[in-house]
Structures are given as C-alpha cells and as structure tokens.
C-alpha cells in the first residue's frame, strides 16, 4: 500500500497534504516541495518481535563532574556559551544575511585554534580564497585554522574522521548535501538529515560542531524546528543594519543559562567586544528630554541599561499609527489600553512611535513601566527627573508588580551615575548607596506623582 505524499514548507517546516503556491503558516511563496515518505520494511512493522540490548540505568544521586570547557579568550562569546566550549557539543548559530555570522565564527575559530584546539572551518557558501581574504582583512592569516570548501556531507565527515579535529565549523547547514536523500540542498529533508549526521558525529567522536543556519523573514532559523531540538545550544546573532552593535543571544543552552547575551561592535577590523553594554547604549544620550526614559533591564545574568524613546503626535489619518522598534507591538497595545481604561488618558487620534535606542531588542515584562512613562512623557511634553531609571511590570488592573534582581538593576544604574529609581513598591526594597528609590502601588499613583495628573 503506497503512502500519501507529504508537502513541506522549506521556510518554516509546516506540512500539508497537498501542494500550494503560498504557505498558510508563514505566507512564503513558492516554498512548498514534496517530501518522499520513508519506505517501511517488514522488520519495522513489529519492533516488539525482536529483543534489544538492555540500557544502563543510574540513580539520580550519581555524582557527575562538570564538563571541561575551553575558553576562546573572547569573554562575550564565552559568557553566552556558559563559560566556554564544551567537548562533543553541537551548536547552532542563526542570524540575518550579512549580519556578521561568518566574521564572528572565523574570529572564534582563530581564537580557539590559538588556544590549543585543532580547528577545521568548512565553508559551503564561499570559496576558500574568499575566506582567506576575510581572514587577512581581520588580521587572522597566521591563525592555525585548517580551511576547506565543500558541500558533500559524506566527504566532509570522511575528512573530519581522518583529521580528528576538536572543533569543526560548518558554514552553513542549508548548503550541505546528503547523497542518500533525494531532494535539493536546503530542503527540509536535507537540513534535517545533515544536522542529524553532524550532531551524531559530534557525540560519537568527541568533536565540537558549530553549525551556521539561515533565518526566515520572521527571524526564525529556516528549516524544521527539530534541528533546534537536536543541538545542545542555539544562538541568535542579532542587530540592525543601521547600528554597529551586534547581540549574540542564547535561546537554548544545555550547558549554561539561556537568554544570556554577548555584545559586540562591528568595525572595519571585525567584531570588537563591548565590556560595558550599558555605557555604550547610553553613550549618545544627552540631557533629559520628553519621551526619553532609561530602563534598567536584565539580559540573562547581566544588568543592561537602555533608553526607550517615545514620540506621540496628532495623526493626520483616520486610523492612528502604532510603530515599534525593539519591543513587542502587542505589549504596547496593552499598555495604551491600560492607560486609557485605568488612568483616563486616551491616545485615540494620536500616532505613537516607540524605539529602543542602540538596536537592542527588549522582551522583558519589567519594561512595562518604562514604556508607560515614555509614552506619558511624550504626550504631556514633560521630561522625567534627571538621573532617574524606571522599571516595573504592569498588570491589566493597573497595579505595578515587582520584578526580579532589583538590587542588580540598582547597582548597575548607580555605577553609571544615576541617582534615583522609579519602581513598584515592595515589602523589601534593597538599599543601594547613592540611589534614592520611589515606589508606587499602581499606575494611577505613578501618573499623579510624576506628571501631576490622575
């Protein structure tokens, strides 16, 4: 009995029973291709008919030594990896085209190789001459990195088995071609098979493997989501083309904390580490102006201060615009609704523009109060007190909720010269020398105290 054909979207991995010109999940055009089903044999129909080997079981109290790590001497990269590179680990790095993934990994390969790791860099997108030219531009031509250009995964695995490197970088997984899979490179079947083979090689041979992955227009790594489940660590390289800052963010890490970030600055000599991101994101901030609010956030384990900028102006259109850069647009709509319903401050007929300065993307709910303060400051054309930071979560009832790591937020602000903090009122507010705190229970109290209206 023949199996029904399965059609898979190469952009997001969604499956359908019939072909269509546009994917219903991601709205991508001409991305759906047919995936041939796996052939079933008679032995696979009844797996219980044959006994397998007994697996080894251990107790939960079995002591395990922490995995050995190799540092790259790039502190920002080591921070995101959880302290360094773990042997036999599989890492997936994704990012927009041209954002600097190849530059980052070439610099990382040179640093790891200089620190004693035997490193091989396999490029499937560029010729070896192009990679060497980049290495010369970055001043890495003397690094002991072995370079290859190939897309046939069978040849790549054979080379890795013979060379026995401690680190292998594959750029990129979408260009790899598995000759046992009857589909084009970059398809869901090819990406899944190549990722499985490389991950299995990493676990069995003790080689750490870093895979580069393309992203879709929504910012997600292209291909099936099962690839992200196969690997140990998933990193996203983020940034805006108009800004020189780049953020390396861990969204999954089996050997360290998730949501950790590393901050880099793109220069003519490659990526430079940013030791103090807060000072960099606030470097171009002048005196306090209406619509400008400094938020003290937490990215992973690191406190980071960023500036929220808001602009509120009468709309010439029948439907007012809501434009957001660096924050969640649905969260902005919620805050606007709470301001109108709980505080009686309408934004109807007003265009609202919200921006996170420096190109950083903030997803923390603790930024709610900072966003509300920026919107009110822009609407009332009144600046917040000089030297003040704002943080706190906002509920639908208008109440302000406490957030975690309050002391770390205050200490980071104090180091950068801020003298006061506007925050939710808590039972135990930590005391930081040089920082005055103002706590409020709900949004109405905050609006009355800061802007003189209730």
- 288: domain CATH number is 3.30.230.10
- Work out how many domains the chain is built from and give that number: 3
* 17 plus 88 within the same structural domain: no
* 270 plus 306 within the same structural domain: no
pTM as predicted? 0.80
* 141 plus 182 within the same structural domain: yes
* 87 plus 191 within the same structural domain: yes
* 204 plus 149 within the same structural domain: yes
Give domain status of residue 45, yes or no.
Answer: no
Give domain status of residue 54, yes or no.
Answer: no
Give domain status of residue 49, yes or no.
Answer: no
How far is Cα 36 from Cα 358, in angstroms, rounded to an integer?
Answer: 46
* End residue of a domain, out of 274, 291, 315: 274
* 316 plus 302 within the same structural domain: yes
How far is Cα 251 from Cα 225, in angstroms, rounded to an integer?
Answer: 13
How far is Cα 290 from Cα 384, in angstroms, rounded to an integer?
Answer: 7
| pLDDT of the residue at 355 | 94
| pLDDT of the residue at 428 | 80
Give domain status of residue 9, yes or no.
Answer: yes
Cβ partners under 8 Å of residue 290, min gap 6 = 377, 378, 380, 381, 382, 383
* 124 plus 18 within the same structural domain: no
How far is Cα 30 from Cα 23, in angstroms, rounded to an integer?
Answer: 8
Domain holding 91, by residue range, is 75-274
| pLDDT of the residue at 224 | 65
* End residue of a domain, out of 228, 247, 274: 274
Give domain status of residue 369, yes or no.
Answer: yes
| pLDDT of the residue at 291 | 94
- CATH number of domain containing 151: 3.40.50.300
* 329 plus 417 within the same structural domain: yes
* End residue of a domain, out of 245, 274, 303: 274
* 326 plus 216 within the same structural domain: no
Give domain status of residue 353, yes or no.
Answer: yes
Give domain status of residue 327, yes or no.
Answer: yes
* 95 plus 19 within the same structural domain: no
How far is Cα 317 from Cα 354, in angstroms, rounded to an integer?
Answer: 18
Please give the average pLDDT of every successive group of 10 residues along the chain, which has 454 residues: 72 81 84 67 52 85 85 92 94 90 94 94 94 93 94 95 96 91 84 93 95 77 77 90 84 90 89 87 79 92 92 92 94 95 93 90 93 95 92 95 93 92 87 91 92 64
* 262 plus 314 within the same structural domain: no
Give domain status of residue 32, yes or no.
Answer: yes
* 248 plus 343 within the same structural domain: no
């Amino acid at each position: 009995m023949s199996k029904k054909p399965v059609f898979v979207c190469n952009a997001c991995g969604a499956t359908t029973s019939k072909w269509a010109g546009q994917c219903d999940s991601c709205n991508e055009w001409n991305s759906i291709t047919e995936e041939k089903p796996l052939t079933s044999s008679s032995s696979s129909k009844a797996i219980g008919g044959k006994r397998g080997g007994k697996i080894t079981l251990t107790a939960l109290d079995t002591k395990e030594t922490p995995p050995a790590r190799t540092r790259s001497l790039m502190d920002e990269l080591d921070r995101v990896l959880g302290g360094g590179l773990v042997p036999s680990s599989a890492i997936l790095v994704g990012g927009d085209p041209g954002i600097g993934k190849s530059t980052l990994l070439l610099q990382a390969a040179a640093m790891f190789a200089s620190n004693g790791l035997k490193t091989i860099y396999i490029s499937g997108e560029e010729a070896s001459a192009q990679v060497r030219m980049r290495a010369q531009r970055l001043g890495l031509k003397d690094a002991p990195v072995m370079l290859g250009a190939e897309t046939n995964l069978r040849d790549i695995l054979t080379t890795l088995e013979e060379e026995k490197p401690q680190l292998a970088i594959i750029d990129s997984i979408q260009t790899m071609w598995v000759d046992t899979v009857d589909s084009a490179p970059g398809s869901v079947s090819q990406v899944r098979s190549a990722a499985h083979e490389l991950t299995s090689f990493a676990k069995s041979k003790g080689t750490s493997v870093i895979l580069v992955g393309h992203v879709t227009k929504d910012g997600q790594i292209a291909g099936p989501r099962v690839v992200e489940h196969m690997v140990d660590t998933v990193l996203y390289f983020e940034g805006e083309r108009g800004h020189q800052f780049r953020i390396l963010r861990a969204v999954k890490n089996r050997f360290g904390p998730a949501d950790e970030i590393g901050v880099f600055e793109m220069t003519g000599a490659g990526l430079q580490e940013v030791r103090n991101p807060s000072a960099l994101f606030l470097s171009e901030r002048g005196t306090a102006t209406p619509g400008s609010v400094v938020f003290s956030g937490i990215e992973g384990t690191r406190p980071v201060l960023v500036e929220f900028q808001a602009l509120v102006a009468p709309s010439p259109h029948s439907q007012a615009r809501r434009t957001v850069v660096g924050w969640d647009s649905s969260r902005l709509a919620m805050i606007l609704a709470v301001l109108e319903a709980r505080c009686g401050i309408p934004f109807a007929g007003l265009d609202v523009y919200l921006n996170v300065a420096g190109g950083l993307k903030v997803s923390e709910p603790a930024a709610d109060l900072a966003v509300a303060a920026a919107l009110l400051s822009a609407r009332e054309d009144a600046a917040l007190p000089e030297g003040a930071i704002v943080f706190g979560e906002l509920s639908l009832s208008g109440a302000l909720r406490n957030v975690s790591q309050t002391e770390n937020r205050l200490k980071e602000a104090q180091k950068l010269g801020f003298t006061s903090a506007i925050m939710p009122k808590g039972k135990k507010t930590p005391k930081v020398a040089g920082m005055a705190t103002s706590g409020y229970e709900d949004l109405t109290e905050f609006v009355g105290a800061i802007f003189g209206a209730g």
